[in-house]
């Protein structure tokens, strides 16, 4: 049971990150963040872009600091204009 | 700081605003006061002035809404997105929308209406998000802001004055 719970929490976090990158950093909706891909470069690039904008350490990884900022309330205007 | 693509800005210095509806989270006078205070933040550092109208179409129409609310940019329920606003222009442009699924408060026990209004009105006047985490135009809500000592950062001032210049003497 705890293992299932942890897996669900992780899924929820991943969905949140996916939506965050789509909404604010123009991650293409057909790029699935959490399917193992041969080429993870577009996703890593978007995570780096987000970390750079938010003044976080630019690692390209979803570390705890990055996830913490993603969970904070924010304005709905995208950071990257169309 | 940054501005919207094409640097849209108001071509007049006197703007009207209208509070079209109210959240039930706060008394009406508290909402009126938060919006007025948020406008004053920008009024102090620009030649812009604002006056309120209660009927008709204002330059800046302010609404509280939930989920889909007619602009194809639905709110997302409690948390995450708090509000959004449109760059200067006619029609929906310049307008401010607050997500009424948030708990709006006068203090920081919930989401402080003044802080979010001041940020959104920055968009209404032409500022995009800043990458400076000290700036009002940084896109992440900071519940630790000292409301009693609130002031715009130099980054916000530089941004808005790049569009409108300093206040007239």
- A54·B131 Cβ contact <8 A: yes
The yes-or-no verdict on residue A39 having pLDDT over 80 is no
Q: Between A36 and B139, name the one with better pLDDT.
A: B139
How many C-alpha atoms does B145 have within 13 Å on its Cβ side? 26
Six token digits for residue A13: 């976090």
Interface confidence, given as ipTM, is 0.89
Q: Best residue in B1, B112, B140 to probe A by mutation, most A CBs within 10 Å?
A: B140
CA separation for the pair B91, B70 (Å, rounded): 13
Cα–Cα distance measured from residue B135 to residue B102, given in angstroms and rounded to the nearest whole number: 22
Rounded mean pLDDT, B67-89: 96
The SS3 of residue B97 is strand
Tens-place pLDDT, residues B50-64: 999 999 999 999 999
Residue A1's pLDDT is what?
46
Please state whether beta strands B111-112 and B49-52 pair in parallel, antiparallel, or not at all (unpaired).
Answer: unpaired
Q: What are B24-50's pLDDT values in tens digits?
A: 999 999 999 999 999 999 999 999 999
Nearest to A76 among B84, B111, B131 (CB): B84
Asked if B140 and A81 come within 8 Å (Cβ–Cβ), the reply is: no
Shortest CA distance to B166 belongs to which of B28, B47, B43, B35?
A: B47
In angstroms, the CA B157 to CA B115 distance is 16
Residue contact B140–A79, C-beta within 8 A: no
Q: What's the CA gap between A80 and A53, in Å, rounded?
A: 10
Distance CA B153, CA B136 (A): 7
| Each residue's pLDDT tens digit, B142-156 | 999 999 999 999 999
Kindly report, residue by residue over B113-130, the tens digit of the pLDDT: 999 999 999 999 999 999
Our CA dihedral for B61, B25, B44, A80, rounded to 10 degrees, sits at: -60
Instruction: Using alpha carbons only, give the angle B120, B131, B103 rounded to the nearest 5 degrees.
Output: 40
């Amino acid at each position: 049971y705890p293992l299932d719970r942890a897996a669900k929490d992780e899924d929820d976090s991943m969905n949140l990150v996916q939506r965050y990158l789509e909404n604010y950093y123009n991650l293409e909706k057909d790029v699935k963040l959490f399917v193992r891909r041969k080429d993870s470069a577009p996703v890593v690039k978007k995570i780096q872009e987000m970390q750079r904008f938010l003044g976080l350490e630019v690692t390209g990884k979803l570390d705890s600091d990055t996830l913490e900022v993603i969970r904070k309330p924010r304005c709905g205007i995208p950071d990257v204009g169309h | 700081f940054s501005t919207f693509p094409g640097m849209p800005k108001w071509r007049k210095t006197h703007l009207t605003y209208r509070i079209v509806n109210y959240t039930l989270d706060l008394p009406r006078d508290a909402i009126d006061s938060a919006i007025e205070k948020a406008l004053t933040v920008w009024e102090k550092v620009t030649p812009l002035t604002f006056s309120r109208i209660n009927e008709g179409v204002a330059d800046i129409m302010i609404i509280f809404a939930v989920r889909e609310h007619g602009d194809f940019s639905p709110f997302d329920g409690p948390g995450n997105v708090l509000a959004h606003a449109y760059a200067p222009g006619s029609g929906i442009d310049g307008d401010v929308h607050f997500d009424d699924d948030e708990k709006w408060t006068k203090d920081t026990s919930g989401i402080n209406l003044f802080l979010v209004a001041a940020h959104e009105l920055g968009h209404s006047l032409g500022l995009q998000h800043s990458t400076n985490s000290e700036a009002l135009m940084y896109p992440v809500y900071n519940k630790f802001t000292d409301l009693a000592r609130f002031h715009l950062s130099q980054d916000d001032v530089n941004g808005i004055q790049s569009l409108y210049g300093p206040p007239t003497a």
